[in-house]
Chain A
Amino acid sequence: MKRVIILMFLLLPGFAAQAADGAGTRIADQFARPALKALVDAAERNSIVVDALCVEPGAERLEAARKTFGTLVTDFGRASVLRFGPSAAESRIERLFFWPDPRGIALRQVQGVLAKADDTAARQETLAEKSAALQGIPALEFVLFGSGSEQLASSDGAFRCAYAAAISRNIGLIAAETLNGWSADTAFARSFTAPSADAEIYRSPREVDGEIVKAMSTALQFLGAAELRPPLGETPEKANGRRAPLWRSDLTFALARARVGGVQALLDASGYAETVPSDQAYAIDSLRFELNTASTQLGEIGLPAEAAFADEAARGHLAVALLALDHARDIVSEDLSAALGLTMGFNALDGD
C-alpha cells in the first residue's frame, strides 16, 4: 500500500503543483475572496450608516450615507468582473446591479414602491423575493440621490429610509452569499482551484482559463455596450447622460474605472504574465496598456455624467476610452486566448 501511495505521488506531482498554483487558485486567493470581502464590508458600512440615518435623520447623516454608497459602488465595480460561479447563481449579479435597463423598469418600480409606501419592500426578507430591479445598487441610488431624496434628511423620509436600509442590507447579504460561494469547501471553489477530469464544473485547467477569459471579455463588453455607449449616442445631439448608470450620484465614471480595475486585478491575479509562452507575453502587455488607457481617459472627464456625454472634450475622452476597451476585448478574445491555447470557434457565440 505504502508503495502504491509513493508511486502515486511520483506520478502526480506535476498535476498537483499545477492545480495548487494554477490561475484558479491564484484568482480565488488573490482577487475573488479579497474583492468580495471588500464588497461585503462596504455594504455593511453603508448599512450601518443608513440605519443611523433612519434612526436620526439629518443632512450630515444623509451625506454620510451617500458617501458610503460611493465606496459600495467602487467595491462592487471591482468585484463585478466575476460574473460566473457564485455571482451567476440565484440571479445574484442581476439582483446586485439590475442593468442595462433600456425601458426604465427599475425607475418605475422603485417610484411605485415609494409612492405606495409598500412595507414589504422595506424589509430585507420580503424585498429579496421581489423583482431584481427593486433590490440592488441602482435602486439604492435612486432612493439616496433621486428626486425626493432630500426627504431623507427629515422624518418625512421615514419610509424611504426604511426601504434604503432594506436594500443596503440585502446587498450585503447577496455579497456575503457570493463570498461564501468562493469558500474553499464549496464544490465551485474546489473545481475552480483544482479542476479534475472526473468532477464538475471545470474538468481541466483549460476550462478554468476559458472561464477567466470569458469573464474579462464579458466585463469589457458590458462596460462599453451597456454603460458607456448608450448615453454617448452617435452625435452630441443624441447624447443623453441620463441613460448612463448611476448618473444621479455622479458615480458613472467611478463605476466604470472600478470595472476596468477589476479586469486589471483579475489579469494580475491570474499570473498569466508569467505562465504564457514568452513569445506571446506581448498580449498581456498590450492588454494592460489598453486597460490603463481606458482608465486614464475615464479619469480625465471631469464633468458630472449627466453633462459629460454631450460635452465635446469629454466625448473625446470617452471615444478614446471606448476604443481602448474594444481593443482590450479583441486582445482578450484573440491574443490572450491563443496564448493560453484556447480556440474560439466561429460558431461558438451562443444566441444563434
Chain B
Amino acid sequence: MEIDRRRLMALFGGLLVAPANVLAAPDSEPLFLAARTEAGRHAIAVFDSRGSELFSIPVDARGHSFAIDARNRMAVAFDRAPGTHAVLFDVDNRKDPLPLVAAPGRHFFGHGIFSSDGKLLLASENDYDEGRGVLGVYDVAAGCRRIGEFASGGVGPHDVVLMPDGRTLCVANGGILTHPDYDGIKLNLDEMTPSLTYVDLHSGELVEEVRLAPELHRLSIRHLVVDAYGVVWFGCQYEGEAADRPPLVGRHRRGEEPVLFAGPAETLRALDNYVGSVAVDLSGEIVATSSPLGGLITYWDAATGRNLGQTSLADGCGIAPLQDGGILATSGRGTIAAVDIARSRLRSVAEQPAVGWDNHLRRIG
C-alpha cells in the first residue's frame, strides 16, 4: 500500500520538532498507563503515582503498550501481538474511546508513537504474508484512518520511538518472523537478523540501519528508550542457546556502532536472557531495564553505561519515570511500586494480587 505523500506532507504543515514529553504542563499530576488482566478480563488502566485508579477501559484482549500524544493528552493502547485491535482514548477521560482495527493482512506488534504535533499515529505492524515489518501510518484527525505504511526496514518490528529531532523514528526490528496462523511460533530462528532502523517520518525513507555482530544474530532487539542525551538505549531477548548469556542492554548513537553493556555476570545470568522493558528516570540520566523472568530491574548510568545496581520485583516488568532517580514499576502479580534507585529501595504503593500488569508502564505528564 503506497502512502499518499501529498496528504502526508499536508499533515506535516504544523509539525513541531520539540519532543512530546517536553510539551506536558510542568505542574500537572503525572498519569500512568498500563494494560491489566484480572480474572480473565482485560482492561486499560489510568492511575496516579500512588497507584490510585482514575479510570479504566475494558478491552477484549490483553493489551500491551501505548502511543502517547502528550500535547493533546491522548493515547492509543495496542493489543499484544498478534492483536488486531487498539483503542484511542483521552487520558483525562473527557471523550469516548475510539476503537481501531488493524488493516487486512496486518496485525499490531503492541507499540506505536504519535508525531510531535499529534496529527499522525504510527504503529509497528506485521505484513505477515510477505514476512516484513511495516509502520502503519494513521491520520488522527480523520478518526485514525490508516493512510499508508512505511517499511520498518526489518522483520518483526516491535518498539518504536521518536527521536528528539521530532522527525526521525527509531525502530527495534526484533528479527523474529511470526505468522498469526502459527500461534507465535518463531519461524526463522536460524537466520534471524535483528536491527535498529532510523526512518524519516516525512518520507518513510530508511536513513540508518544498525546491526549487531553476526554472532549475535539471535539477539532480538525489542524495546527502546531515548535518554537525556538524545541517545537510544535498547533491551533485548536472546533466542540462542541458554548457556550463551550475551549482553542484553545496549546503546546506539547515530552514525556510530552500537555498544552493548553486560553488567555483573551474576546480574546478567539472573536476567535469564530476557529484558522485557526499558525506561529512564525523570532526568533521563538513568536507564532502567526489567526482566520478569529474573524478577529484576537493573539500572545503568546513561552517560557511561556503568551498571548502577538492581532491585528485585517478582514478575516485574512495567517501568516508567517517576522522579529524578526514581521509577514506578508494575508486576504480573499486581504490585505497583516506587523505586528509589540510589538507595535500591522499593516501596509498594498498591497490591492487587488478582491483577496481572502487562509488560509495559507508560507515563504522561
Interface residues of A, Cβ cutoff 8 Å to B: 84, 88-89, 91, 94-95, 100-103, 131-132, 187-188, 200-201, 211, 221-222, 224-226, 229-230, 345-348, 350-352
Residue of B nearest to A347 (CB): B292
A261 CA to B318 CA, complexed, in Å: 40
A111 CA to B21 CA, complexed, in Å: 54
Residues of B contacting A: mostly: loop
Residue of A nearest to B223 (CB): A352
Contact pattern, B 347-365, Cβ under 8 Å of A = 1, otherwise 0: 0000000001111000000
Best-buried of B64, B243, B317 by chain A (most CB within 10 Å): B243
CB neighbours (8 Å) of B242 from chain A are: 84, 88, 201, 211
Residue pair B274, A350 in contact (C-beta under 8 Å): yes
A45 CA to B317 CA, complexed, in Å: 51
Q: How far is the CB of B314 from chain A (nearest CB, A)?
A: 8
Residue pair A230, B80 in contact (C-beta under 8 Å): no
Q: How far is the CB of B243 from chain A (nearest CB, A)?
A: 4
CB-defined A-B contacts under 8 Å, sample of 23: A88-B242, A89-B241, A94-B189, A95-B190, A100-B179, A102-B179, A102-B182, A132-B190, A132-B191, A200-B245, A225-B183, A226-B185, A229-B181, A345-B314, A346-B37, A347-B317, A347-B358, A348-B315, A350-B274, A352-B64, A352-B110, A352-B358, A352-B359
Residue pair B184, A351 in contact (C-beta under 8 Å): yes
B276 within 8 A of A: yes
B289 within 8 A of A: no
Q: How far is the CB of A342 from chain B (nearest CB, A)?
A: 12
Contact pattern, B 202-233, Cβ under 8 Å of A = 1, otherwise 0: 00000000000000000000000000000000
Residue pair B80, A102 in contact (C-beta under 8 Å): no
Which one, B37, B187, B333, contacts A102 given CB within 8 A? B187
Residue of B nearest to A211 (CB): B242
Asked, given contacts A103-B131, A201-B243, A346-B332, whether A351 binds B182 with beta carbons under 8 Å apart, the answer is no
Residue of B nearest to A201 (CB): B243
CB neighbours (8 Å) of A226 from chain B are: 182-183, 185
Residue pair B183, A221 in contact (C-beta under 8 Å): yes
A222 CA to B129 CA, complexed, in Å: 20
A220 CA to B232 CA, complexed, in Å: 39
B residues contacting the other copy or chain, number (CB 8 A): 44
Q: Which of B292-322 contact A (CB under 8 A)?
A: 292-293, 295, 314-317
Residue pair B276, A352 in contact (C-beta under 8 Å): yes
Contact pattern, B 166-202, Cβ under 8 Å of A = 1, otherwise 0: 0000000010101101111111011100000000000
Given contacts A94-B190, A346-B357, A346-B358, 6 further A-B contacts (CB under 8 A): A91-B189, A102-B181, A103-B131, A200-B243, A350-B293, A351-B174
A102 CA to B316 CA, complexed, in Å: 35
B328 within 8 A of A: no
Residue pair B292, A345 in contact (C-beta under 8 Å): yes
CB neighbours (8 Å) of A348 from chain B are: 292-293, 315, 332
B84 within 8 A of A: no
Residue of A nearest to B333 (CB): A346
Best-buried of A94, A188, A224, A350 by chain B (most CB within 10 Å): A350
CB neighbours (8 Å) of A230 from chain B are: 181-182
Asked, given contacts A89-B241, A226-B182, whether A347 binds B359 with beta carbons under 8 Å apart, the answer is yes
Residue of B nearest to A200 (CB): B243
Q: How far is the CB of A106 from chain B (nearest CB, A)?
A: 12
A241 CA to B123 CA, complexed, in Å: 35
Q: How far is the CB of B295 from chain A (nearest CB, A)?
A: 8
CB neighbours (8 Å) of A225 from chain B are: 182-185
Best-buried of A201, A221, A346, A347 by chain B (most CB within 10 Å): A347
A196 CA to B32 CA, complexed, in Å: 42
CB neighbours (8 Å) of A350 from chain B are: 237, 274, 293
B81 within 8 A of A: yes
A103 CA to B315 CA, complexed, in Å: 36
A225 CA to B178 CA, complexed, in Å: 12
Residue pair A345, B315 in contact (C-beta under 8 Å): yes
Residue of A nearest to B239 (CB): A350
CB neighbours (8 Å) of A201 from chain B are: 242-243
Residue of B nearest to A92 (CB): B190
Q: How far is the CB of B96 from chain A (nearest CB, A)?
A: 28
